[in-house]
Structure 1
Amino acid sequence: MPARIEDVAAHAGVSTKTVSRVLNGHPSVRAVLRTRIEASIRALNYVPNPSARSLAGNRSYLIALLYDNPTSGSSYVMELIVGVLQACKGTPYNAVLHPFEASDDPVAQIDRFVAHHRPDAVILVPPHANNLKLLQRLDELDLRYATISSRSHQSRIDIGFDERKAAADIVRQLIALGHRRIGHVAGLKGHGAHVWRLSGYRDALRKAGIEYDESLVVPGDFSFASGVAGAKALLDRRNAPTAIFAANDDMACGVMREAHARGLAIPGDLSVCGFDDTPVAMLVSPGLTTVHQPCREMGRLAVEGVLASIRDPALQLQTHVPYALQPRASTGAPAKR
C-alpha cells in the first residue's frame, strides 16, 4: 500500500502538520528537521498528491527547465536534465522540460508558458541564461529562477564554473605535448561558453608565447555536424593544425569523424580534445580527452537553489563547482614532419 503523510510523520517522529509544511516549502521549518523529513519521504517512497497540494497551497509544484537548440549540444542538455530529475526525486516537485526557441520573442514565450503551466520556478540554460529581457520578465512576474553558466549578473542564483580557466588548462596540455598549431572549433555565439572557451584558448597560447592566428578559429554551434564542418575548414589548410580543441564533445566527435574520413590517425596525425565530458567522450574510439563539467551536479544544485529561493525570496547564491581535465587516448605528441 502506498505510504501516506501519516506514515512519513511517524517515521520522522513529527506531526503531519510539520510534514505538510515541508511539502509546501514553508520557511518556518528548521533545516535539520526539514532534512529528516525529506529523508523519511525518500525512505518510504512517499508520493504526495499534487492535485490536493495545488488546491491547498495555490502552487503547481512544477519546476520548468527551459532550453534551446536540443539537437546541438544535446549530450550537455541531457546530462543537465538527468541532474534536474534526480534532484526533484524525493521532493514534492516535478520537472517540466520545455524547448524554448531563442529566435522567438522571449517575453511573449514566457508569458504563454507561465499562463499555461503555472510553474513555481524556472531553470534557464544558455543562451536563455544570458537573456536580460527574459530575466527581467521573470522578475516582473515574481517567478523564482536559477541560471546555469550565465554571463549576466542579474541572476540571483547561478550555478557554473571557471570555463575560461578550464579551456586554458586543456590547451596548455596540448602545448605541453609539443603542439604549436592548435585549431579551435568555437561554440555558438550568444552562449557564455563561446566567449569563455575561446578566451581560455587564447590565454593558453599567449602564456606559451604562441601568436594567435584567427584563421585557426572556425565557427561552430555545439553540434556534431558543425564539428565535421569545422574540421574540414581547418584540415583543408595548407599548413593544417596538429591539434584541434573543440568547444564541446559533440563537435570534437565531428572533428574525429572527419579526420577518420581523411585517413588521419588519432592521435598520431591529429590530436583532438573536447569539453564537457559527456558520455559520448568514453564511447568513441580512441577515448576523447576533455574537460569534465559536472553537468548533473549543476542541474541538481540549480534545483536545490531555486527551491531554497521559494522559501527565502531574498536568497542570493553564486556557486562555482570544480572541474577536472580528463586525459584520454585522443591526444598525444605531434608527428614529426
Structure 2
Amino acid sequence: MARTRKSVTIRDVAEDAGVSLQTVSRVVNDGPNVRPHMRDKVRASIERLGYVPSLAAQRMSGSKSYIILALNDRERTLADWRERQGTDWVDQMLLGGILKCSEHGYRMIVELVDTRSEHVERELDAAIAALQPDGVVLTPPHSENALITSLLARRGIPFARIGSKEEGPGVPLTMGDEGAAYDATKRLIELGHTQIGIIAGPREYSLSEWRVEGWRRAMADHGLNSEGLKERGDFSYESGTTATRALLDRNPRLTALIGSSDQMTLAALEVTRDRGLHVPRDFSLISFDNTPIVRFSQPPLTAIDQPIAETVSKAVEHLITQRKDAVPGDVIDVPARLEERASIGPAPRAA
C-alpha cells in the first residue's frame, strides 16, 4: 500500500536516505556539518516521500520558532471587518506574507494590537512570550510607535517597519506613496486639470504626508497653485463626505480630486453626484488603495494600487534571510501603480 503524505515521519526519511535521524534534522533545519552529497540525498528522499516537517519538531530542534508575527491595528481592522466595505488590506498582507513564509518553511501569524492603548506593551509582551517569533512585521501606525519598536529592539527581535522612513532599528519599507501621488496628479494635469484637490489621511500615518508632498510637488512642478486645495480625513467614508463638501464650497472651480483612501473617494463621488456634477465629464476622481469595491462603483474609480502583498513579502524575506547586503537605515521602496478606469477624463471647458 502506498504511504500517504500524512504518515511520513522523519524516521522514514532517515531510513530511505540511509542516514541518521540527526542528519535529517540538520538538513530540515538548514543546519551545519552536513556534506553536500548527504544533504542532496536527504532532500531527494524528502521530495520522493512527500515529507512535511512538523513545526513543533522544528522548534524543538533549535533556537528558531519558524514563526513570523505580523501586527495590525486592532481598531481599524475590526471596523473594516464588521462594516464589510470591501477593504482587503489584511487579505493582501496574508497573501504576500504566507506565500513568502511557505517558501522558507515558516508560518505567519497575524495579531491585532491597539496602538493607542496604554497596555500596548503588555499586549505585545504576551504575544511574543506565546509565539516566540523569529521576526515581526509592523504595519502602520504600529511601524512608528516608539513603544513597540523600542520593545522589539530591546528583545533583540528582528522587525520590519512598513510605511516608515524614520531612523532607528528595524527594516523600513514604503509603498511608493509620494511617487504615486505625484504621478496621479501629473496624469490629471495632462488631462488639462489645473484645480486639483486632495483629501489627505490622518497625521498619525506618515504616508498621509508623503502623498500630500507628492501632490504638492507635482502641482508646483507644473506651475500650479495648491493653496487651499487640501482637506484632511481619517480614511472613512464619513470624513470623505465632509472633506469633499468643504473643498467644493471653498473652490467652486475645482475639477479633480485625489482621495487618500477608497472610502473617502467613494464619498467624494457621491457628493459630486449630489451637486449635479457628472464624473468624469465635469469632475475627475483618483483614489488610493484599489480595493475590490472601486471596480464596481459607477463609474469604476481610477485608483493607485498599493503593492501590499509585494511589500509584506519583501519584509518577510528580509526577516527570514537576514540579508547581509542590507544597509542599516536604507529604505526599501516598492513602487505603486496607477490603474486607470472611467473616473477621469479631460478637464471641462470653462463656461
Return the TM-score normalized by structure 1: 0.83
Give, in angstroms, the shift of residue 198 of structure 1: 0.6
Q: Is contact 1:129–1:151 with CA below 8 Å preserved after alignment?
A: no
What is residue 65 of structure 1 aligned with on the other side?
70
Q: For 1:24 and 1:43, how far apart are their aligned partners in 2? A: 18
Q: How many residues align?
A: 334
> Quick one: which amino acid aligns to residue 248 of structure 2?
L
Q: Residues 303-322 of structure 1 correspond to what in structure 2 (within 5 A)? A: 303-309=316-322, 316=328, 318-322=331-335
Q: Is contact 2:182–2:214 with CA below 8 Å preserved after alignment?
A: yes
Larger radius of gyration: 2
What RMSD over aligned residues (CA atoms) do the two structures have, in Å?
Answer: 3.7
Moved more, 7-16 or 61-70: 7-16
CA deviations on 1:209-237 (whole Å, 9 max, x unpaired) are: 112223x2111222333323322332344
Moved more, 312-321 or 166-175: 312-321
Q: For 1:189 and 1:99, how far apart are their aligned partners in 2? A: 21
> Quick one: which amino acid aligns to residue 71 of structure 2?
L
Give, in angstroms, the shift of residue 174 of structure 1: 0.8
> Quick one: which amino acid aligns to residue 340 of structure 2?
P
Q: For 1:129 and 1:34, how far apart are their aligned partners in 2? A: 39
Q: For 1:41 and 1:225, how far apart are their aligned partners in 2? A: 55
CA deviations on 1:42-94 (whole Å, 9 max, x unpaired) are: 99775422222223325433211101122469433432222112222344322
Q: Residues 173-252 of structure 1 correspond to what in structure 2 (within 5 A)? A: 173-214=187-228, 216-237=229-250, 239=252, 241-252=254-265
What is residue 115 of structure 2 aligned with on the other side?
102
> Quick one: which amino acid aligns to residue 205 of structure 1?
M
Q: For 1:13 and 1:212, how far apart are their aligned partners in 2? A: 73
Q: For 2:108 and 2:23, how far apart are their aligned partners in 1? A: 24
Q: For 1:35 and 1:279, how far apart are their aligned partners in 2? A: 45
Q: Which runs of 5+ in 1 are unaligned?
A: none
Give, in angstroms, the shift of residue 161 of structure 1: 3.9
CA deviations on 1:291-322 (whole Å, 9 max, x unpaired) are: 2322111111111111112x879985743223
> Quick one: which amino acid aligns to residue 162 of structure 2?
I
Q: For 2:207 and 2:167, how far apart are their aligned partners in 1? A: 16
Return the TM-score normalized by structure 2: 0.80
Give, in angstroms, the shift of residue 18 of structure 1: 6.2
Q: For 2:252 and 2:224, how far apart are their aligned partners in 1? A: 16
Q: Is contact 2:158–2:170 with CA below 8 Å preserved after alignment?
A: no
What is residue 180 of structure 2 aligned with on the other side?
166
What is residue 333 of structure 1 aligned with on the other side?
346
Q: Is contact 1:289–1:327 with CA below 8 Å preserved after alignment?
A: yes
Q: For 1:178 and 1:91, how far apart are their aligned partners in 2? A: 49
Q: For 2:18 and 2:331, how far apart are their aligned partners in 1? A: 35
Q: Is contact 2:175–2:334 with CA below 8 Å preserved after alignment?
A: yes
What is residue 83 of structure 2 aligned with on the other side?
none
Percent identity for Structure 1 against Structure 2: 34
Instruction: Say if 1:168 and 1:87 are closer, same or farther in 2 by CA, change over 3 A.
Output: same
Q: For 2:301 and 2:165, how far apart are their aligned partners in 1? A: 28
Instruction: Say if 1:333 and 1:155 are closer, same or farther in 2 by CA, change over 3 A.
Output: farther
Alignment counterpart, residue 324 of structure 1, candidates 324, 337, 340: 337
